[in-house]
Chain A
Amino acid sequence: MSAPAQPSGSAEVGDTGAHEMEHGTTKLAVETEALTRRFATVTAVDHLNLAVPASSIFGLLGPNGAGKTTTIKMLITMLPPSAGVARVAGYDVQRQPVEVRRAIGYVSQMLSADGALTGYENLLLFARIYAIPRRERRDRVFDALEFMGLSEAAHLLVKNYSGGMIRRLEIAQSMMHRPAVLFLDEPTIGLDPVARRAVWAHLRELLSRFGTTILMTTHDMEEAEEMCEYVAIMHRGRAVATGSPEALRASVGPQASLDDVFVHFVGGLIDEGGSYRESARIRRTARRLG
């Protein structure tokens, strides 16, 4: 694989990356320029610049309240930015929201498949909504179930599924229309290690089969290390470091782990800021203001 014009391998804010890369050989699946979201008194996302190469797995890392979820919400057209620009699959999230929605899949932090329906019905709904023609729907749904290892549970109500099965079903749901970009918000939070590995394996398989770009948030360093070609470490709404996990580790020290990198860029700041409170406050304000 030809190394994509690296998104600033050095550990600095990827300020310069975006434009060069747009004109370079690599296409960008997601690109933000000075993306900002304010809620009343707090700035949840603050002049964020991201460049996510197509067909890569990109991780947004950061402590709670760093602005990861707010960023995702803006990218999936659920929250209008206060300032700045974001393009997803080449479409502007503010000016072309419908095009963006057609081109993306989204799996939220919550286990949100509908428990009152079977796995098959959950997928069928999305097959319809994403305009898959009638004669292909059944095949597409059963392919997806098989791919995710859920064939035998197809006609069971989802409320009887385990957490790992629900997560896999949701990934299948978000992939019904073969989106160019898949957004995952904490994809393996709350799953046991086996279920977690199964989700990882399926995500990798999606990338290799369909070339899907995956943008995931996580605060699990093992997940980032295992899955992501590139990561951006967010803190207080900004990307304080971007690059491949290896490059970031190398920038901190010879023996550094990704945990060390995280602490290096975020740790000290947490001590002085009391980030948990901040996060709770931002979330409350965000909920209130919508």
Chain B
Amino acid sequence: MKAEAIGKAPGFGAPLGGWARRELPGAVRDTLAIADIELRKLRRDPIELFTRAVQPALWLLVFGQVFGRIRAIPTGGIDYLTFLVPGILAQSVLFIAIFYGINVIWEKDLGIVQKLLVSPAPRTALVLGKALSAGIRGLAQGIIIYVLASLMRIRLNFAPWHVLGVVFFIILGSALFSTFSLAVACIVRTRERFMGIGQVLTMPLFFASNAIYPLASMPGWVRDLAIVNPLSYQVDALRFLMVQGGQSVFGLAQDCWVLVVVLAAFVLLTGWLYPNVAA
């Protein structure tokens, strides 16, 4: 009688019966499930998105105006403020993404991560889902920057193909740095340590990039750093897509594959580290 009960209990022996036939490949479905949940939370509490407008506004209004007037930075034909806009977009996306990992520390303290780790979902899907939602979160920064630029009468390229490209590169860059942030969170595991490290990481990533000055104007050692910094590739792509007559140094294709490869590497690494956060 016991044995029968076992036979009937779905999940015993053959845990995935007919009902478990998957429509989407499992990892894709899991990724989307996680991203969907994160976006539902965001929709409920969108205010934080708009408090994030202050910092980029300062960079454009103060820093951009001053340096634009001095004309100290050679930007090859386009005025400095226009040159700066994509850099500030990438920067504000970076600053948000780099602190994204703190969420997972929160969720660990609440026991949410543990429950997901006990599920059969691949860890890389758990990570990629978070990355995707962080990417979409970054789009709010895009809207803010376009609005600011319009108010400042900076003329950007609104060709649909270009705008779509900007959307793509914001999501890509944001996903990349938020995954990096998750990896850091998995290593440090406490909020206090994480905040410290987040502060330490952002400035070097920002200054050792082409966000506020072109590669050509850098001393050799800074340029070497900028060339291995994924942020430079995001800025390069955004500059090409957003600025009227914008030029790409690396080429859009190279920007794309560098960011995709680095993102993939971070997703695999973080998937591997993920169980660590809950330990």
Q: Are A179 and B110 in contact (CB under 8 A)?
A: no
Q: Judging by beta carbons under 8 Å apart, are A136 and B19 in contact? A: yes
User: Does the CB pair A78–B275 fall under 8 Å?
Assistant: yes
Evaluate contact between B2 and A54: CB separation under 8 angstroms.
yes
B54 at interface, CB cutoff 8 A: no
- CB–CB A116/B41 < 8 A: yes
Q: Mark A84-111, 1 if CB is under 8 A from B, else 0.
A: 0000011000000011011110101111
| 8 A Cβ contacts from B193-248 to A | none
Q: Do B11 and A177 have beta carbons less than 8 Å apart?
A: yes
List residues of chain B with CB within 8 A of the CB of A212.
Answer: 9
Q: Give Cα distance in the complex from A89 to B110, angstroms.
A: 28
Q: Given A25-B3, A131-B22, A178-B9, A78 and B114 touching (CB < 8 A)?
A: yes
In the complex, what residues of A have CB within 8 A of residue B70's CB?
Answer: none
Given contacts A27-B6, A55-B6, A104-B118, contact A131 B40 (CB under 8 A): no
Q: Are A211 and B120 in contact (CB under 8 A)?
A: no
A117 touching B41 in the complex, CB below 8 Å, given contacts A4-B2, A131-B20, A210-B9:
yes
The CA-CA distance from A27 to B3 in the complex, in Å, is 7
Closest B residue by C-beta to A80: B275
Does B119 have its Cβ within 8 Å of any Cβ on chain A? Answer: yes
Q: Tell me which residues across on chain B come within 8 A of A133, comparing CB atoms.
A: 19-23
Q: Is A101 a contact of B5 with CB atoms below 8 Å?
A: no
Instruction: Quote the shortest CB–CB distance from B103 to chain A (angstroms).
Output: 11
In the complex, what distance in Å separates the CA atom of A180 from the CA atom of B119?
14
Asked whether any CB of chain A lies closer than 8 Å to the CB of B52, the reply is: no
B77 at the interface (CB under 8 A from A): no
B residues 111-165 touching A (CB-CB < 8 Å): 111-112, 114-121
Q: Does B78 make an interface contact (CB < 8 A)?
A: no
Q: How far is the CB of B184 from chain A (nearest CB, A)?
A: 16
Say how far A290's CB is from chain B's closest CB, in angstroms.
3
Q: Is the CB of A79 within 8 A of B6?
A: no
- Looking at B29-37, B79-87, B172-180, B257-265, the stretch in contact with chain A turns out to be B29-37
A55 and B9 form a contact (CB under 8 A): yes
Out of B15, B30, B110, which one reaches A180, CB within 8 Å? B15
B11→A128 contact, CB < 8 A: no
Interchain CB contact under 8 A, B19 and A54: no
Q: Output the least CB separation between B127 and chain A (Å).
A: 14
- B111–A108 touching, CB < 8 Å: yes
Contact of A2 among B2, B20, B22, B107 (CB under 8 A): B2
Which of chain A's residues have a CB closer than 8 A to the CB of B40?
A: 117, 121
- Is A125 interfacial (CB 8 A cutoff)? yes
Q: Could you give, for residues 18-56 of chain B, a 1 whenever the CB lies within 8 Å of some chain A CB and a 0 otherwise?
A: 011111001001101110010011001100000000000
Per the bound structure, the CA–CA distance linking A79 and B118 in Å amounts to 11
CA distance A130 to B23 in the complex (A): 13
Contact (Cβ within 8 A) A2 B1: yes
Q: Is B16 an interface residue (CB 8 A)?
A: yes
Instruction: For B44, list chain A residues within 8 Å (CB).
Output: 116
Set of chain B residues within 8 Å of A110, measured between Cβ atoms: 110-111
Contacts of A174 in B (CB 8 A): 115
- Chain A min CB distance to B279 (Å): 3
Between-chain CB contacts (< 8 Å), 6 pairs: A53-B2, A101-B120, A103-B11, A178-B11, A210-B10, A211-B8
Q: 8 tightest CB-CB pairs across the interface, nearest first?
A: A112-B111, A290-B279, A110-B111, A211-B9, A128-B33, A180-B12, A211-B5, A102-B15
Q: A54-B9, A54-B12 are in contact. List 5 more A-B contacts (CB 8 A).
A: A54-B2, A55-B9, A102-B16, A121-B40, A211-B12
